[in-house]
Chains A and B, each alone.
Chain A
Amino acid sequence: MKTELLGVIASFLITLAIAIPLGKYIAKVFKKEKNLLDFMGPLERFIFRICGIDTTREMNWKQHVGALLSLNLLWFVYAFVMFLIQGSLFLNPDGNPSMSPHLSFNTAVSFLVNCNLQDYSGETGVTYLTQLVVLMFLHFMSAATGIAALVVVFKAMQDKVTDKLGNFFEYFVKSITRILLPISLLIAILLVFHGTPASFDGKDMVITMQGDTSHVSRGPAAGMIAIKHLGTNGGGWFGANSAHPLENPDYFTNMVEIIAQCIIPFALVFALGYYLNRKRMGLVIFSVMTLGMLCFLLPTMHAEMKGNPAIAHMGIDQSSGSMEGKEQRFGAPATAYWSILTTVISTGSVNSMHDSSMPVSGAMQMLGMMTNCFYGGNGVGILNYYIFIIIAVFISGLMVGRTPELLGRKIEAKEMKIATLIALLHPLLILSFTALSSWVITKNPTLPWLNNTGYHGFSEMLYQYTSCSANNGSGFEGLGDNTPFWNITAGFVMILGRFLPIIGPLAIAGILAKKKFIPESAGTLRTDTGTFGIMTFAVIMILAALAFFPALTLGPLAEYFSFH
């Protein structure tokens, strides 16, 4: 157990050790300072030239939103069509069929928005072609979209009064060429050496020790698994995701993958500090995020390592923790760590079945997605956190007797309106759609949706919409979600849960950047102090608790109390 705990601590520390210099590097890239990968310059200029992009043309926030949405719309159409016709295209050695329209809609949306809810199974639902040129392609695109949007906000947070916030396409391309592509290449190589397949051959055949013949799916998986983590996407090659022995062969790859999914979210927080020359602010935000993550991690670790009291009651040894739905090669602590990190960060890849987690862990995983800003997904995590900063600045500004201001800009009615709408959106989507599905299942109890009845069944539905709205993509896999109802409703929740929380912060930052800059004085409430950090933390936690407490009571909490 002790060694397993050390493994968890080491994972976190290594992530941190990589993230700090990476953050510095990312800040350099977007500040156009000299950096390590300047040799990519010609390639980028070539891309800009053939695409007719003039990077000197700076955009205001509305033009950024326009560029972002039109790019995404294009890919949506592309992905949707590809899934519909994949069965008749090449690179399909296993002869997998095309998707139904509603599954195609769901899958296209889910990969477009960095959610990667997989209502299909990788082995049978998609072809090598769509895995590579649609799914893996979207892994890069959606991660870069998030990073580029964040860089716009960085730019707007500077002291200069302007509505020129740089060129979206430049941020976007550089996110790929300077960050995502090189790092995922390194990760893919590490994975290949540990047994992750990277082959275009179809299913392999093995004869098991019992003498049965078994067909094992494989394919050019390593690259996709690398970017699925680095890009906080989570959509894996195989149906079982990173619990699959080929997707995540051993403890080492497990560590590589968990580190890979955290480095960019961590690094972007430090990048904020370096970019704005407010290192202290980056540090305070990182500390608050870490505090939030620990609030979810510690109860989960405790619950998972203690084991299941109901099974212990049957006289079965639980000394190695609750192992239902977990992989022996990872063990309980590393699995608990993964399950929390993958939910606070919007990756949503799993190395265990969350459906089998202890009730407390289930609640914590959901809370990780309900807050959705402790690190959060690439770029979007900080954008979500930014909304809470606005609200925290407003309340605490009042508490010290000064019209609230953030980094020299006054927060007024318009910004508050946007911030509160975005903060409202997440509970609105989760609760109203869970209510809808609860209503449907109550009226039609015979629907084959839920693997479990009662509290756990409710948790499955709540988890699903939470995961969609948070663009996480993990699931309580007990839910039979490949039906028109779930595919379509989840698709809409994912779209709204993705784009509005990006547009909102961009709008606020853009409006603020145009406002008069007020230099700091002794009366200014500093936003880079521990006190303000605690204030933000309290706002995030209390908002989440207030919105979701009744729902969590009927799901995991009721389940927890019935266990004890």
Chain B
Amino acid sequence: MASVRKQAKSMKLFDQSLVSTALKHSFTKLNPKLMVKNPVMFTVEIGTAVMLIVCAWILTGEHSQGSFAYNFIIFLVLLLTLLFANFAEAIAEARGKAQAESLRKTREETPAKLVQPLGELRTDEIKVVSSSQLKKGDIFVCETGDTIPLDGEIVEGIATIDESAITGESAPVIREAGGDKSSVTGGTKVLSDKIKVKVTVQPGESFLDKMIALVEGASRQKTPNEIALTILLAAFTLVFIIVCVTLKPFADYSKTPITIAAFISLFVCLIPTTIGGLLSAIGIAGMDRALRANVITKSGKAVETAGDVDVLLLDKTGTITIGNRKATHFYPVNGVDAEKFMADCVLSSLSDETPEGKSIVELAKSLGGKTQPTDALLKDARFVKFTAETRSSGIDLSSGIRIRKGAFDSIKKIALDAGNSFPAETETKIREISSNGGTPLVVSENEKVIGVIELQDIIKPGISERFERLRKMGVKTVMVTGDNPLTAKYIAEKAGVDDFIAEAKPEDKMNYIKKEQQSGKLVAMMGDGTNDAPALAQADVGVAMNSGTQAAKEAGNMVDLDNDPTKLIEIVEIGKQLLITRGTLTTFSIANDVAKYFAIVPALFISSIPVLQGLNIMHLHSPESAILSAVIFNAIIIPVLIPLALRGVEYKPIGASALLRRNLMIYGLGGILIPFLGIKLIDLAAGIFF
């Protein structure tokens, strides 16, 4: 299911319309005011401007700088380098924007049924306005068939809602006022019933709007890691400024005239333009990948931090196990007829709406038991609801039979209070069930224990492989559950999580997170309820479910539109991928310089120091063709690597050292060798003309 959805959502890397917008932006981004934010490319822009001046100078009759054609080509190639870099950023932005736009489109200009405020009181008078006119705090009504105009919280009513526009999930979900499932998202559709919704965001401030702004670069702040990398790249640029500036007196000493074109080409080739040109595209693409996974991030930093996560807190229910516990066995006490026991269990669960209750009826049905008791039997029957106090539920039949089912200790108390003994065999059975990770439900009839129902958690298929993958990434998984420690331990072992918090109260999560953080770990968690909010805020990466309360969404730094608790695993990989892509392309960019040196340096001096032909190990045709080839290679490599920057370098959980070795071989060694080949090939063509 998930993969089908993803396929449908993934667009072609270079969509026609995106490319044309990106091309346009490549030119507008040449504005020096924008370029100066990227020190590496800004210096290239200065170089390009100088080359333009040199071209003009030659036209006025200057002869010392070589032919006009040669200088003009250098100028064009430098301009192309800039445009390629801008294009990389523009296409990444366009893709992210298109993705976000497709989500936003659904809710733009939706008619909203605004409940008119009238003084302090609200009347039921409804006025239809455009969604863009809604303000925070307004209340609107949605009925069957309406599209919800804006994010909000249900204040009244319950409704089934189709969220497929956002999540791609076609099954409708139920949202109701109060509790943890009160939040609705703009763009989704009400399928039944009527709800009153209070707007919780200002127009233009919803998560999606924030996300779009992030991708567009308006509010994109560099992440700490990006800043550190920019410093490194700036340092490399500085080294090469020093190298190129000092080369002038060196060359003068050696009586070797060097043209301005050669100086600028050398400089542009040496500075890390490849990574410099792709850096922001990589960052945007990272957020875009998160969005494609249906995760909205509030900042680029959150994605990056996700890659560093050491500890992952996961709720048991829904994440590790499928939904809720299911009844798996009936164990009547010796002397009680199995058929009768099953019938009693069904009776006690008939009006029990909890998933456990339903599963008892289902199990009885599958075992061929009677699940439809006669009306006579049920006549005047009284259902006893579960309360936290009694911790049991059941039925009182008109015939005077009282059936109860509940937790071990509550039924034991009922039995003992009535003066009945608690059968030893039942106690043994209970222990056996608990130690197998099951939950025992004791059943009594007229205060006499008649048997035990075993409830079991069903562990999601494939989940232990995902935990294994996380373990290889160095992420510790922690299961949070309300179960008793014995059950929790069993499930933890079976699912393959590293640790668990049993009988967890909301503050336990918080304390666990704080404890881990104190020892220097980064913690990620996923939550939905209001009581998760403090923990979500405390966690380094807090992912709130879209179905969760507004408070939870505010507290976290990501929102998962799919409400899929295993999404954290994907988020961690996206974060790692982001860093890896930056690191490998930096390495590649710098390793490229070796070959470029061997192309350009001999070319610079060969006319006055012919012996340096020995350094021309690529046997390039002429100094001009050598310099041109290097500059052309330097420009072309940027668009060639755009797909890699956008898709991200693959992350493999093979351990840090092995991964380093692998990436060093591919991008380090490859980065040294590839340009030798590339420059030589370009020279074969350029050598025809120069």
A and B assemble together: yes
Binding site for A on B (CB under 8 A): 224-225, 227-229, 231-232, 234-235, 238-240, 242-243, 245-254, 270, 304, 307-308, 310, 471-476, 519-521, 575-580, 582-584, 586-587, 590-591, 593-594, 597, 601-602, 604-605, 609, 611-615, 651, 655-657, 659-661, 663-664, 667-668
Measured CA separation A516–B310 after assembly (Å): 15
Q: Are the C-beta atoms of B601 and A549 separated by less than 8 Å? A: yes
Tell whether A523 pairs with B656 under 8 Å between CB atoms, given A411-B228, A416-B232, A420-B232.
Answer: yes
Q: Are the C-beta atoms of B310 and A521 separated by less than 8 Å? A: yes
Measured CA separation A431–B474 after assembly (Å): 44
Q: Are the C-beta atoms of B663 and A435 separated by less than 8 Å? A: no
Which residue of A403, A551, A553, A561 contacts B225 across the interface (Cβ within 8 Å)? Answer: A403
Q: Are the C-beta atoms of A441 and B235 separated by less than 8 Å? A: no
Instruction: Assess whether A423 is interfacial by the CB under 8 Å rule.
Output: yes
Chain B residues near A562: list those with CB within 8 A.
611
Instruction: Assess whether A402 is interfacial by the CB under 8 Å rule.
Output: yes
Measured CA separation A522–B475 after assembly (Å): 8
Which residue of B238, B586, B615, B660 contacts A532 across the interface (Cβ within 8 Å)? Answer: B660
In the complex, besides A394-B232, A424-B235, A438-B252, 8 extra interface pairs with C-beta distance below 8 angstroms are: A417-B231, A428-B242, A432-B246, A522-B473, A523-B656, A525-B657, A531-B664, A542-B593
Tell whether A553 pairs with B308 under 8 Å between CB atoms, given A399-B663, A458-B254.
Answer: no
Instruction: Assess whether A519 is interfacial by the CB under 8 Å rule.
Output: yes
Q: Are the C-beta atoms of A534 and B656 separated by less than 8 Å? A: no
Measured CA separation A199–B308 after assembly (Å): 66
Which residue of B228, B234, B594, B659 contacts A412 across the interface (Cβ within 8 Å)? Answer: B228
Chain A residues near B238: list those with CB within 8 A.
424
Tell whether A412 pairs with B224 under 8 Å between CB atoms, given A399-B584, A402-B576, A434-B246.
Answer: yes
Which residue of chain B is the closest to A522 with respect to CB atoms?
A: B474
Measured CA separation A553–B599 after assembly (Å): 13
Measured CA separation A146–B578 after assembly (Å): 40
Instruction: Assess whether A356 is interfacial by the CB under 8 Å rule.
Output: no
Measured CA separation A554–B255 after assembly (Å): 11
Which residue of chain A is the closest to B658 with respect to CB atoms?
A: A531
Q: Are the C-beta atoms of B249 and A436 separated by less than 8 Å? A: yes
Q: Are the C-beta atoms of A396 and B660 separated by less than 8 Å? A: yes
Chain B residues near A543: list those with CB within 8 A.
239
Tell whether A550 pairs with B601 under 8 Å between CB atoms, given A439-B249, A458-B254.
Answer: yes
Measured CA separation A554–B250 after assembly (Å): 8
Tell whether A547 pairs with B243 under 8 Å between CB atoms, given A400-B580, A534-B664.
Answer: yes
Q: Are the C-beta atoms of A435 and B520 separated by less than 8 Å? A: no
Measured CA separation A441–B248 after assembly (Å): 14
Which residue of A436, A526, A542 contacts B656 across the interface (Cβ within 8 Å)? Answer: A526
Chain B residues near A438: list those with CB within 8 A.
249-250, 252-253
21 A-B pairs (CB sep. < 8 Å): A395-B587, A398-B584, A399-B587, A420-B232, A431-B243, A439-B253, A442-B249, A442-B252, A458-B253, A521-B476, A522-B656, A523-B474, A526-B657, A531-B657, A532-B660, A538-B668, A545-B594, A549-B597, A550-B247, A551-B250, A561-B611
Chain B residues near A436: list those with CB within 8 A.
249
Which residue of chain A is the closest to B307 with respect to CB atoms?
A: A401
Instruction: Assess whether A421 is interfacial by the CB under 8 Å rule.
Output: yes
Which residue of chain B is the closest to A454 with respect to CB atoms?
A: B254
Q: Are the C-beta atoms of A399 and B253 separated by less than 8 Å? A: no
Measured CA separation A417–B664 after assembly (Å): 24
Which residue of chain B is the closest to A530 with respect to CB atoms?
A: B657
| Distance between B221 CB and nearest chain A CB, rounded to angstroms | 13
Measured CA separation A59–B159 after assembly (Å): 66
Binding site for B on A (CB under 8 A): 391, 394-403, 408, 411-413, 416-417, 420-421, 423-424, 427-428, 431-432, 434-436, 438-439, 441-442, 454-455, 458, 516-519, 521-526, 529, 531-532, 534-535, 538, 542-543, 545-547, 549-551, 553-554, 557-558, 561-562, 564
Chain A residues near B310: list those with CB within 8 A.
518, 521, 523
Tell whether A441 pairs with B253 under 8 Å between CB atoms, given A519-B520, A523-B474.
Answer: yes
Q: Are the C-beta atoms of A554 and B521 separated by less than 8 Å? A: no
Chain B residues near A525: list those with CB within 8 A.
656-657, 660
Measured CA separation A547–B270 after assembly (Å): 10
| Distance between A331 CB and nearest chain B CB, rounded to angstroms | 30
Tell whether A421 pairs with B580 under 8 Å between CB atoms, given A412-B224, A427-B242, A521-B476.
Answer: no
Q: Are the C-beta atoms of B660 and A435 separated by less than 8 Å? A: no
Which residue of chain B is the closest to A547 with respect to CB atoms?
A: B239
Which residue of chain B is the closest to A526 with respect to CB atoms?
A: B657
Q: Are the C-beta atoms of B242 and A516 separated by less than 8 Å? A: no
Q: Are the C-beta atoms of A399 and B250 separated by less than 8 Å? A: no
Q: Are the C-beta atoms of B664 and A524 separated by less than 8 Å? A: no
Q: Are the C-beta atoms of B660 and A400 separated by less than 8 Å? A: yes
Tell whether A523 pairs with B475 under 8 Å between CB atoms, given A545-B594, A551-B246.
Answer: yes
Tell whether A561 pairs with B521 under 8 Å between CB atoms, given A401-B580, A403-B304, A551-B246.
Answer: no
Q: Are the C-beta atoms of B655 and A522 separated by less than 8 Å? A: yes
Which residue of A402, A424, A427, A455 contacts B308 across the interface (Cβ within 8 Å)? Answer: A402
Chain B residues near A519: list those with CB within 8 A.
519-521
Chain A residues near B242: list those with CB within 8 A.
424, 427-428, 431-432, 547
- Tell me which of A441, A534, A550 has the highest count of chain B C-beta atoms within 10 A of its own C-beta: A550
Q: Are the C-beta atoms of A546 and B657 separated by less than 8 Å? A: no
Q: Are the C-beta atoms of A423 and B235 separated by less than 8 Å? A: yes
Measured CA separation A432–B242 after assembly (Å): 7
Q: Are the C-beta atoms of A398 and B583 separated by less than 8 Å? A: yes
Measured CA separation A413–B586 after assembly (Å): 16
| Distance between B282 CB and nearest chain A CB, rounded to angstroms | 11
Measured CA separation A156–B597 after assembly (Å): 39
Which residue of chain B is the closest to A433 with respect to CB atoms?
A: B246
Chain A residues near B661: list those with CB within 8 A.
531
Chain B residues near A397: list those with CB within 8 A.
579, 583
Q: Are the C-beta atoms of A553 and B605 separated by less than 8 Å? A: yes
Chain B residues near A458: list those with CB within 8 A.
250, 253-254
Chain A residues near B668: list those with CB within 8 A.
538
Which residue of chain A is the closest to B661 with respect to CB atoms?
A: A531
| Distance between B465 CB and nearest chain A CB, rounded to angstroms | 17
Measured CA separation A463–B80 after assembly (Å): 40
| Distance between A542 CB and nearest chain B CB, rounded to angstroms | 6
Chain A residues near B659: list those with CB within 8 A.
399-401
Which residue of B249, B304, B655, B657 contacts A435 across the interface (Cβ within 8 Å)? Answer: B249
Chain A residues near B579: list those with CB within 8 A.
397-398, 401-403
Chain A residues near B656: list those with CB within 8 A.
400, 402, 522-526
Chain B residues near A411: list those with CB within 8 A.
228
Chain B residues near A413: list those with CB within 8 A.
224, 227-228, 231
Q: Are the C-beta atoms of B664 and A402 separated by less than 8 Å? A: no
Which residue of chain A is the closest to B240 with respect to CB atoms?
A: A546
Which residue of chain B is the closest to A561 with respect to CB atoms?
A: B611
The list of the 6 closest CB pairs from A to B, nearest first, reads A523-B474, A398-B583, A401-B576, A420-B235, A518-B520, A399-B583
Measured CA separation A175–B234 after assembly (Å): 39
Measured CA separation A509–B650 after assembly (Å): 33
Measured CA separation A438–B579 after assembly (Å): 43
Measured CA separation A539–B142 after assembly (Å): 62
- Tell me which of B239, B253, B308 has the highest count of chain A C-beta atoms within 10 A of its own C-beta: B253
Which residue of chain A is the closest to B586 with respect to CB atoms?
A: A395
Q: Are the C-beta atoms of A550 and B663 separated by less than 8 Å? A: no
Chain A residues near B664: list those with CB within 8 A.
396, 399, 531, 534-535, 538
Which residue of chain B is the closest to A559 with respect to CB atoms?
A: B611
| Distance between B620 CB and nearest chain A CB, rounded to angstroms | 16
